[in-house]
Amino acid sequence: MVTEAIKIENEFSMASIKFEEMVQWLSSGESKKMTHSEIESQIQEDGRELLRLLLQSHLDARGLCNVGEKLTGSDGIIRSHKRETSRKLKSVFGYVEINRQSYGARGINSLHPKDAELNLPRDIHSHTMRKIVAKESSKGSFDEVVSAVDDYTGTHIAKRQIEDLVEKAAVDFDSFYKICSSSLCENTKKTGSIVVLTTDSKGIVMRKEDLRDATKKAAEKGENKLKNRISKGEKRNRKRMATVASVYTIEPFVRTPEQIAKELGPIREVSKDNRPKPEFKRVWASVEKPKDKMIEDIFKEAEIRDPNHEKQAVAVIDGDEKQKELIEDKIKEYKMDVTLILDIIHVLEYLWKASYVFYKEASKEAEEWVRENLLLILKGKSLEVASNIQQRVNSQEIYKDKRVSADKCVSYLLKYQNMMHYDEYLAAGYPIASGVIEGACRYLVKDRMDRTGARWSLTGAEAVLQIRALVASGDFEFYWDFHTKEEYKRNYDPLLRQTVEQLNEHKKYGHLYVVK
């Protein structure tokens, strides 16, 4: 025991010396003349170096990871050439050096058991550093991430490396949700009796080479007014649509048309204290996957939550015809009983635009007209509202160019009347507004991706959307644990199929595990 203690003390001697230096300085007269913020800054700088030395000492204490005179990889090749090598790792405390045993043979890749034991990444950045980069990239621009890494770790990562690390961080997004589906199924059995499916789209300004073919051709025909900036009106040929999706369960919430009409008015008069909250809400988005694939993923997610179709499925949509057709196709394919509901917020927008045909904008008369007609629609009388608008336009002989908004409102109400039985939906406690997906569009896409001057690559945009989706769904920490295990499998597959006996032959390194 005494010998072991001496050995540990020797291995951590540099860290001990640094700690003693810090204690002596804090006890000195010089430090007592400084303000608290100056002392904090000095402790932060010295403390980071102390932590780096502790990490370095621990890595040194683990030895070279010598597992014998030779090592056989999964390729069946015996590696009998041994030599000591080293590699650097950029940790959150700074650079450390890892000394390890290398096993090689002529003309083939060498294997390093210590790299596998530590689950080191292939490149220089540690998994903890990668995690910080991923989370910070979900919050702000890549330039802001560079500054955040500088501040938090005292080390520097270039912007291009940041972008590359984010893309690598998101590679297991799809497989994570496939594998964790069984546990989600068990959890959602005890949740609310309604499963909600909803989707929407939002444009992202892309680099020309990553636009879809039709948009790329349109972009090539036009010319920018300015050399280094996209002007107003030019974005429409510079965007690629990202499909945003959400699935969640919720308890029924019965309301009356009068309550909804008041709630959607200028003063929200309805208390939301008792409103049930979405359960196990998952939101995600993709600029790479086509819309039909995303809608298929929505139905797969709903199936996971309700495999026996015991819950009532509700799809809140905005009237996009292609979206509606795709959803209807999937309803038939999955043999699900899904109630399609037209988002009441979109209906309200059509009413407001129609009101300006008859009244001045922002007038009390327009506001009252909208409220009265909204109440009728909420009572299931959308056809009556459409008829009233049509009759009023005709009776007042409003000319064609003036009545466009009113005609559009009438067409909208007639076209989607089968999805506007709001009196029945409210009595059953179904959601009738797409607040969840609107919030997801704003958070996942607009707040992060629609910054002035930003032009995204396809892979970069997809990676950031996926990381933000993980954070928004509350799954990031679970994902990161999954991701690091998947990294082990990718990076150290040649070691995975070695016999356990060989890896455990030397007791000192018996904890070198085999991932199955």
Q: For residue range 453-470, list pLDDT tens digits in order.
A: 788 999 999 999 999 999
CA distance 162 to 130: 9
> What value does the mean pLDDT take over residues 238-242?
89
Query: What's residue 514's pLDDT?
Result: 37
* pLDDT band for position 500 (cuts 50, 70, 90): very low
Least Cα distance to 285 among 444, 168, 107 occurs for 444
Contact present, 297 and 245 (Cβ < 8 Å): yes
Query: What's residue 268's pLDDT?
Result: 46
CA distance 280 to 40: 41
How many residues are given for the chain?
516
Contact present, 307 and 185 (Cβ < 8 Å): yes
Query: What's residue 509's pLDDT?
Result: 40
Query: What's residue 218's pLDDT?
Result: 64
Q: What is the pLDDT of residues 148-180, one digit of tens each?
A: 999 989 899 999 999 999 999 999 999 999 887
SS3 388: helix
CA distance 305 to 197: 11
Query: What's residue 508's pLDDT?
Result: 43
DSSP 443: I
Whether 499 has a pLDDT exceeding 50, the answer reads: no
> What value does the mean pLDDT take over residues 295-306?
92
Query: What's residue 10's pLDDT?
Result: 76
* More reliable by pLDDT, 188 or 328: 328
Q: What is the pTM of this model?
A: 0.85
CA distance 349 to 81: 74
* More reliable by pLDDT, 228 or 373: 373
The segment with the largest mean pLDDT, out of 2-11, 131-140, 209-218, is 131-140
Query: What's residue 453's pLDDT?
Result: 78
CA distance 99 to 112: 10
Q: Locate 21 and state its tokens.
A: 């230096």
Whether 107 has a pLDDT exceeding 70, the answer reads: yes
> What value does the mean pLDDT take over residues 202-226?
72
Q: What is the pLDDT of residues 357-405, one digit of tens each?
A: 999 998 999 999 999 999 999 999 999 999 999 999 988 878 777 899 9
CA distance 125 to 121: 7
Query: What's residue 270's pLDDT?
Result: 45
How many other CB atoms sit within 10 Å of the CB of residue 184?
A: 15
- The label of the residue with tokens 């892979």 reads 459
* pLDDT band for position 338 (cuts 50, 70, 90): very high
Q: At what angle do helices 291-305 and 321-334 cross, to 10 degrees?
A: 40
Q: What is the pLDDT of residues 265-292, one digit of tens each?
A: 544 444 555 889 999 899 999 999 999 9
Q: What is the pLDDT of residues 118-150, one digit of tens each?
A: 999 999 999 999 999 999 999 999 999 999 999
* pLDDT band for position 214 (cuts 50, 70, 90): low
- The overall average pLDDT reported for the chain is 87
Contact present, 441 and 363 (Cβ < 8 Å): no
Q: To the nearest whole percent, how much of the chain has pLDDT over 90?
A: 67
Whether 515 has a pLDDT exceeding 60, the answer reads: no
Per DSSP, the chain holds a count of helices (H) and strands (E) of 25, 9
